[in-house]
Amino acid sequence: MADNSKAEDAASDSVEAAKGTGDKKEKLAAQVMQNPQVLAALQDRLDNAPHTPSSYIETLPKAVKRRIDALKQLQVKCAHIEAKFYEEVHDLERKYAALYQPLFDKRRDFITGAAEPTDEEAEWHSENEEDEKLAGDLKSKVVIEEKEPGAAEETNPKGIPDFWFTIFRNVDMLSELVQEYDEPILKHLQDIKVKFSEPGQAMSFTLEFYFEPNDYFTNSVLTKTYKMKSEPDKADPFSFEGPEIVDCEGCTIDWKKGKNVTVKTIKKKQKHKGRGTVRTITKQVPNDSFFNFFSPIKVSGDGESLDEDSECTLAIDFEVGHFFRERIVPRAVLYFTGEAIEDDDNFEEGEEGEEEELEGEEEGEEEEDAESEPKKDASQPAECKQQ
Segment 330-363, tens digit of pLDDT:
999 999 999 998 766 655 555 555 544 444 444 4
- Among the listed residues 45, 325, 115, the one whose alpha carbon sits nearest the alpha carbon of residue 203: 325
Q: What is the mean pLDDT of residues 156-166?
A: 95
Q: What is the mean pLDDT of residues 279-298?
A: 90
Checking if the pLDDT of 120 tops 60, the result is: yes
DSSP code string of 302-330: TSPPPPHHHHHHHHHHHHHHHHIIIIITT
Q: What is the mean pLDDT of residues 134-153?
A: 58
Q: String of b and e for 88-108 (b: at least 16 CB within 10 Å)?
A: eebeeeeeebeeeeeebeebb
Write down the mean pLDDT value for the chain. Answer: 80
| N-to-C CA span, the chain | 80
More confident position, 277 or 11 = 277
Q: How confident is the model at residue 249 (pLDDT cuts 50, 70, 90)?
A: very high
Q: How many CB atoms lie within 10 A of CB 373?
A: 9
- Among the listed residues 288, 208, 216, 218, the one whose alpha carbon sits nearest the alpha carbon of residue 250: 208
Q: What is the mean pLDDT of residues 140-149?
A: 56
> What local confidence, expressed as pLDDT, does residue 258 receive?
92
CA-CA distance, 120 to 83, in Å (whole number)? 44
Percent of the chain with pLDDT over 70: 70
> What local confidence, expressed as pLDDT, does residue 59 receive?
85
Are 252 and 221 spatial neighbours (Cβ–Cβ below 8 Å)?
no
Checking if the pLDDT of 7 tops 60, the result is: no
Segment 50-85, tens digit of pLDDT:
667 777 888 889 999 899 999 999 999 999 999 999
> What local confidence, expressed as pLDDT, does residue 17 receive?
52
- DSSP letter for 289, please: -
Q: How confident is the model at residue 304 (pLDDT cuts 50, 70, 90)?
A: low
Q: What is the mean pLDDT of residues 320-329?
A: 96
> What local confidence, expressed as pLDDT, does residue 286 receive?
92
> What local confidence, expressed as pLDDT, does residue 9 receive?
55
CA-CA distance, 265 to 182, in Å (whole number)? 17
pTM for the model: 0.69
For helices 36-48 and 2-33, the axis angle rounded to 10 degrees is 70
Least confident window among 117-131, 223-237, 245-259: 117-131
Q: CB neighbours of 348 closer than 8 A, spacing ≥ 6? A: none
Checking if the pLDDT of 23 tops 90, the result is: no
Q: What is the mean pLDDT of residues 193-206?
A: 93
Q: How confident is the model at residue 243 (pLDDT cuts 50, 70, 90)?
A: confident
Checking if the pLDDT of 28 tops 90, the result is: no
Q: CB neighbours of 227 closer than 8 A, spacing ≥ 6? A: 202, 203, 204, 245, 246, 247, 248, 249
